[in-house]
Structure 1
């Protein structure tokens, strides 16, 4: 992309059946510029070791030693994740739940077309159809504005640059998450600077650490309850009501919930008010998911509220400890694996001295803070990309060379 390329707002438009577009652009039907070819089945048992991507309806699903078609290319979900659009940089094998794109005209830049297909959002096209799947005729009927080839290249270059930044950010996030996982394993079992260790019920731990039943360091450990949904007066109050999805969405700290209840709803159920900076632990569904509530909350019966004895236990430390534990192995196997309050109470846990708990939590919190900054940066890049797609692919914003 040229260094002297500048952006400017387009002022000269023409009216078309899809709205205003720059006067020198044309309107085309997708069916006039591309064909959608059927992928070919390739069962796992037939795949041989290699580095050729095998592409399903939502991206790469494996690898093989030979390609069905040349890359780079665009793959569209025909069944399964219907309408999902994937870009493949090299030769590849699209399987039979997909279409792969071939262009009919030499003035179509494939990478630009990829972004156009993302903007069109093909996932919506099948919704009115009785038979699940994406019909080619529906895709072919879509009309879009077509800029000159050179501008297609410029648009694709800008959006690809943002995509590269997103990919690099994803790589740093993945690397940092691996680092955090290793640090948690090390710090939560070996502590900081210890030389002597002892064998215990839960494995080797530093000699200075204790092993206790979890209930010994809890002020209160109790599940919640759901007020009757038949009583409207129990809902839309001032008390936050935590469900499993709120914990999984929180990532670590919980500040808000999708549902609230009233004082009357609280009093007429087994829900209780959990003080801020307590642990919230899922015991059904996404069991083992854990969060720290930054505000007073109540919960449903699928979540334990855990108030620790502050003089012995640091909430942040036990957040990381539970995040690192495989609690599923302690679950009762019924129709689905569930934990109980009693199982959690009787768990043996390591108990370092309180200052060491705080030091371990502080180290891991620093890594979490770095991850949060990286995720925010990724969100900014995604927002930037969406904005550029909306403006550049419709011609509202154009590019030119500075004279």
Structure 2
């Protein structure tokens, strides 16, 4: 156990193994480990200046390793840089931090926008499955002077629905079964590399409603011990990440950690996907308190879906798609601006350390040399 810290005050820490080139400025005495370089600098030098200088050098590009990322001392010390006088260092640091403060504020605002978009998306889906997003069939019928065939009310313990809606169990609306796969592709090389997509829980989680991407495929051998579900199948995860959902864009296989729902009506499938998304927290309550939460097929078979008439489903799905399309456009713009902010951060550093002065190359290595 080291009682005394290795540094007496502020120090620069540079990743040597693993997080190659990552630069950290410590304001307090610290205990750097052997996977980093560190320097306390020289008297009269501004360590924050050297922190930003190292950031501008993008040291990760010096990594030549093939397994564990590493930063060689020889490569590190071979860099030639120009060092500003101490007074100029203070001015540069002040300007860099002023610009970074503005960028940090902008990034924080963009992240708040992303969080608000996530909440808005959830609110749209909740309104959709509760009959609050578009006029119901009953409301339209009343406006047109038409009669609507009444739906038999459910038991008193089940929440009431908008007029014309009914509760329906998933098996009544289509096929509901677990995926079939005795082996994962990684378990048997013969299963690899065929034309049949093999969807995993991570693929469903990343899908945002429609499963387009996958990282594994089955061969004919793999297909024989699995099942090819058609495009339009709703995938629902029941292990690790409960009730993540996505609809297959192409025929695919998937394991028994995913349940497939197959309906003759694509609109009904989309509506059910919306509903499952809004019910994740409730479905997680059925998972036993174990390290990896799982639910079983029986839980999903007992799920009651609040189902509107088909015409209303069409309108709901169209309206949800309209809202989510707007959300995706805004999210894309936010992500582009976040990338732009990082580019601007690098541009600030590049401009701050543009070669405008003249100092010896050795001075830079001495100032930030590893201890």
- Tell me if both proteins adopt one fold, taking TM over 0.5 as the criterion: yes
Any stretches of 5+ residues in structure 2 without a counterpart?
1-5, 33-38, 71-76, 140-150, 357-371
**Residue 208 of structure 1, CA deviation:** 1.0
- Residue 105 of structure 2: which of 156, 164, 174 is its match? 164
1:281 and 2:256 equivalent?
no
Work out which of the residue numbers 364, 368, 378 in structure 1 matches 2:320.
364
Q: Distance in 1 between matches of 2:123 and 2:258?
A: 28
Helix, strand or coil at the partner of 1:338: coil
CA distance in 2, matches of 1:102, 1:163: 27
CA-CA distance at 1:320 after TM superposition: 1.4
Larger RCO, structure (CA 8 Å, separation 6 or more): 2
Displacement, 1:365?
2.6
RMSD: 4.9
Q: Which residue of 2 aligns with 1:322?
A: 276
Match of 2:144 in 1: none
- In structure 1, how many angstroms separate the alpha carbons of the residues matched to 2:169 and 2:213? 31
Match of 2:146 in 1: none
**Contact 1:115-1:389 within 8 A present in 2 as well:** no
- Normalization by structure 2: what TM-score? 0.65
Alpha-carbon shift at residue 259 of structure 1 (Å): 1.0
1:35 pairs with 2:10: yes
Number of matched pairs: 312
Does residue 1:212 correspond to 2:206, yes or no? no
1:237 pairs with 185, 194, 197, which one? 194
Answer 1 or 2: which has greater strand percent.
Answer: 1
Q: Distance in 2 between matches of 1:381 and 1:211?
A: 44
CA distance change for structure 1 residues 397 and 145 in 2, over 3 Å: closer, same or farther? closer
Output one character per residue of 1:111-149: Cα deviation in whole Å (capped at 9) or x when no partner. 99469559557xx9xx899xxxxxxxxxxx998956643
Note the residue ranges of structure 1 that are not aligned, 5 or more in a row: 1-30, 38-74, 130-140
Contact preservation (8 Å) 1:282, 1:304: yes
TM-score by length of 1: 0.60
In structure 2, relative to structure 1, the CA distance for the partners of 1:323 and 1:262 (3 Å cut) is same
Q: Is the 8 A contact 2:49 2:92 kept in 1?
A: no
Correspondence 1:261 to 2:224: no
